[in-house]
Structure 1
Amino acid sequence: MEFMGGRRLFKQLPQSRAEIHGALVKGLPYAVLVHIVDHLSALSADQIADALGISGRTLRRQKEQPDKPMPADLASKTWLFAETLAQASAVFGGRDAAERWMARPAMGLDGARPIDLLRTLQGAELVTEFLGRLEHGVYN
């Protein structure tokens, strides 16, 4: 939740998967996405926007409407992006290292950059599974 602004942006933090689902269907405020973009250093706003399937221009426009709710599909992709970044941060020992890893081709992902795989649920699952293997010392 810290990657998404935590208590500052959520009136009540979701405590279960069902509550997370409800929050995503309702639509997270664009302030969550703006917070993510503003607090990352190794990934550009355009890279993040591309991973979420929106244009950089759309992202910049939404910065002016931070309280507006995102569509459910974008809220879901944003949540998944933040969860993946949190998992990578745990595996690599910090957010900066995780961001750098996400932006580089990974041999265990057939040379794809993890951030590019986040565009689809199947690609995101590949990244999550690979991070799980890295966490347990299995590199292929």
Structure 2
Amino acid sequence: MKNDTERLAAITKAAQAFFVNDNKAAKRWLNYPVRGLDNKRPIDMINTDENASIVLNLIGCLDHGMFV
């Protein structure tokens, strides 16, 4: 089980990779409601391993061109 800091780091790293190291775009995405997360902010979903996995899975789907 990871703590909030570790989950945030993993999500941030995945978002930065998705946005091709555009830290500004990644930060914006993390801090605004996302339709694929039921209009929740990804940054608010670091509280559990399950929620963090949902965010990471969404990033993976988006990276592969899947619209969810």
Identity among equivalent positions (%) equals: 36
**How far does residue 132 in structure 1 lie from its aligned partner after superposition?**
0.3
Q: 1:132 aligns with which of 60, 65, 68?
A: 60
**How far does residue 77 in structure 1 lie from its aligned partner after superposition?**
2.3
Aligned to 1:83: 10
Bigger radius of gyration among the two = 1
**How far does residue 90 in structure 1 lie from its aligned partner after superposition?**
0.9
The answer (yes or no) to whether the contact 1:85–1:95 under 8 Å persists in 2 is no
Q: How many pairs align?
A: 67
Q: 1:99 aligns with which of 16, 23, 27?
A: 27
Runs of 4+ with deviation above 4 angstroms: none
Distance in 1, Cα, partners of 2:12 & 2:37: 16
The residue type paired with residue 92 of structure 1 is F
**How far does residue 126 in structure 1 lie from its aligned partner after superposition?**
0.7
The residue type paired with residue 59 of structure 2 is L
Aligned to 1:34: none
State the TM-score, normalizing by the size of structure 1: 0.45
Root-mean-square deviation (CA, aligned residues, Å) is 1.6
Distance in 2, Cα, partners of 1:139 & 1:103: 20
State the TM-score, normalizing by the size of structure 2: 0.87
Q: Deviations over 1:8-48 (max 9, x none)?
A: xxxxxxxxxxxxxxxxxxxxxxxxxxxxxxxxxxxxxxxxx
The residue type paired with residue 130 of structure 1 is L
**How far does residue 115 in structure 1 lie from its aligned partner after superposition?**
0.6
